[in-house]
């Protein structure tokens, strides 16, 4: 096991040292077996990077590197550097939301500082041959945070009013609410239209692709619109 990094610089240096390696090469260093595809191990890449960087494995309530106040996110990218998937942030609170504000929300804490690690994600590339890209540490700008807060407030309004069922992934410009469960039969408690408790599918907050795309593009100074 790799010890936890003791500073942001150390973490970033470690992540930078991973750039250029393939997932197969990294897996081999840790005696892990690279799956042929991710159909049955959707979180495999994220777990591998956690291992490489000394994040504590298993489920933790807050950021991956809590002492450093940093959340680790791997992000699958195309050959043009654009995200191939939305990014899961955290489960959405559907009950006990009285007094909950953006400022004290779980999602704001998670997104306060993120270490993004781009990884080749096209399915044509075998998992073990996919390359790890250059990492970047990101903190939301005032504008980005305002955008996220606006979306969060819109979505939370539905939840508070007992209208969870009316929310679709189309709501929110940058942040969306989508199912986050083992399957469509999973249930959790939420507010009904009359304030009574109801059972519903657990949901999670996800960052839409254009949002994460801009983060990567801004950092790597890529053109806003790719012309490849």
Partner DNA sequence: CATTGATCATGT
Partner DNA sequence: ACATGATCAATG
Binding site residues, DNA, CB under 7 A? 37-43, 45-47, 49-50, 58-62, 64, 71-76, 85-88, 90-91, 119, 121, 123, 168-170, 176, 178-189, 201-202, 204, 206, 208-209
- 50 vs 151, beta carbon nearer DNA: 50
Decide: residue 188, CB within 10 A, 0-12 exposed, 13-18 middle, 19+ buried. middle
Minimum CB distance to DNA, residue 95 (Å): 8
- 183 vs 227, beta carbon nearer DNA: 183
- 142 vs 167, beta carbon nearer DNA: 167
Phi, psi of 195 (to 5 degrees): 85, -5
Minimum CB distance to DNA, residue 177 (Å): 8
Phi, psi of 114 (to 5 degrees): -125, 135
Rg, Å, the chain Cα set? 18
Q: List Cα–Cα distances, 72 to 162, 175, 219, 223, in angstroms.
A: 33, 18, 17, 25
Minimum CB distance to DNA, residue 189 (Å): 6
CA distance linking residue 38 with residue 55, whole number of Å: 21
Minimum CB distance to DNA, residue 125 (Å): 11
């Amino acid at each position: 096991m790799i010890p936890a990094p003791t500073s942001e610089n150390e973490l970033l240096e470690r992540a930078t040292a991973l750039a250029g390696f393939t997932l197969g090469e990294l897996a081999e260093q840790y005696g892990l077996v690279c799956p042929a595809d991710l159909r049955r191990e959707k979180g495999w890449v994220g777990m591998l990077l956690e291992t490489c960087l000394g994040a504590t494995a298993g489920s933790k309530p807050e950021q991956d590197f809590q002492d450093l106040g940093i959340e680790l996110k791997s992000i699958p990218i195309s050959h043009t550097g654009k995200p191939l998937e939305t990014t899961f942030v955290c489960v959405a609170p559907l009950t006990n939301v009285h007094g909950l504000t953006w400022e004290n929300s779980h999602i704001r804490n998670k997104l306060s500082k993120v270490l993004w690690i781009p990884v080749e994600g096209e399915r044509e590339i075998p998992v073990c041959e996919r390359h790890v890209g250059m990492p970047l540490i990101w903190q939301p700008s005032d504008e980005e945070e305002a955008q996220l807060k606006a979306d969060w407030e819109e979505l939370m309004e539905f939840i508070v009013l007992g209208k969870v069922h009316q929310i679709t992934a189309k709501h929110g410009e940058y942040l969306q609410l989508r199912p986050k469960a083992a399957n469509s039969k999973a249930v959790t408690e939420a507010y009904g239209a009359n304030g009574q408790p109801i059972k519903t599918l657990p949901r999670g907050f996800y960052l839409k692709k254009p949002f994460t795309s801009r983060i990567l593009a801004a950092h790597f100074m890529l053109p806003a619109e790719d012309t490849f």
